[in-house]
């Protein structure tokens, strides 16, 4: 009797990408949800005993909104669903994504900062494409920098006439810390599979700077 069995088929590459992206955003998601639950709990505790009920209600509503935004990042970064595609402003998505991704990057010694003008972009993009592309490149950057690294990763969002949006990622080492020159090249190579599947282009502007080119969807808001 032949007891030999064939090994189970390997899951498709998309499932590996889903698992890696969810693993990357999980620390930031838990951190964000924990902060918002703490704010809600504290405000609710004093709401009935305070005359300034309006202020505490605003705090609770704001915390609920931030928690919802964090969960939206998780949904867009995770496996595809039957939900219809969502189109949102790129600047708003970038702010929400950065709030979640700061935590895993900080654990690698990298501070995530946004250029001020990035928050104001009215260009609309497919939310899933935008979030997955940026989460993937940020995951690869965090994976490539050495544990002893200390520096800043600055994101600069700009509108590309007739071609969607671009996000520049510039990595800068802190004074006294040696720059990690091969990190961005390796991050570009590591993210190629996911970015290609999303039809997102990536250019290496310098040894420490990448540019993502993400197609736009629809008109500006």
> Structural domain boundaries of the chain?
16-79+87-214
Cα–Cα distance measured from residue 169 to residue 154, given in angstroms and rounded to the nearest whole number: 6
Vertex 188 angle, CA 156 and 182, to 5°: 95
User: Which pTM was predicted?
Assistant: 0.79
Q: What pLDDT does residue 149 have?
A: 85
CATH architecture of 16-79+87-214: 2-Layer Sandwich (3.30)
For the sheet with 201-206, list strands across it: 110-114, 151-160, 164-173, 209-214, 201-206
Encode pLDDT of 145-170 as tens digits.
887 889 999 999 998 876 789 999 99
Cα–Cα distance measured from residue 221 to residue 219, given in angstroms and rounded to the nearest whole number: 6
> Do residues 36 and 96 lie in contact, with contact meaning Cβ atoms separated by under 8 Å?
no
Collect the ranges in the chain with pLDDT lower than 50: 1, 7-13, 219-221
Q: What pLDDT does residue 49 have?
A: 57
């Amino acid at each position: 009797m032949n007891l030999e069995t064939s090994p189970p088929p390997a899951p498709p590459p998309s499932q590996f990408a889903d698992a890696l992206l969810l693993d990357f955003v999980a620390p930031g998601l838990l951190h964000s949800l924990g902060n918002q639950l703490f704010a809600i709990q504290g405000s609710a505790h004093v709401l009935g005993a305070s005359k300034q009920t309006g202020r505490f209600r605003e705090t609770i509503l704001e915390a609920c909104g931030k928690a919802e935004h964090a969960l939206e990042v998780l949904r867009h970064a995770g496996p595809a669903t039957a939900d219809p595609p969502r189109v949102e402003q790129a600047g708003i998505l970038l702010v929400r994504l950065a709030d979640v991704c700061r935590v895993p990057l900080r654990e690698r010694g990298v501070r995530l900062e946004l250029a001020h003008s990035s928050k104001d972009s009215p260009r609309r993009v497919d939310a899933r494409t935008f979030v997955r592309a940026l989460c993937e490149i940020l995951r690869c950057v965090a994976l490539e920098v050495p544990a002893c690294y200390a520096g800043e990763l600055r994101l600069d969002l700009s509108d590309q006439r007739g071609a969607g949006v671009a996000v520049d990622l510039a990595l800068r080492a802190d004074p006294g810390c040696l720059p990690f020159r091969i990190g961005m090249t390796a991050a570009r190579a590591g993210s190629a599979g996911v970015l290609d599947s999303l039809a997102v282009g990536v250019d290496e502007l310098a040894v420490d700077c990448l540019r993502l080119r993400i197609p736009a969807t629809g008109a500006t808001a």
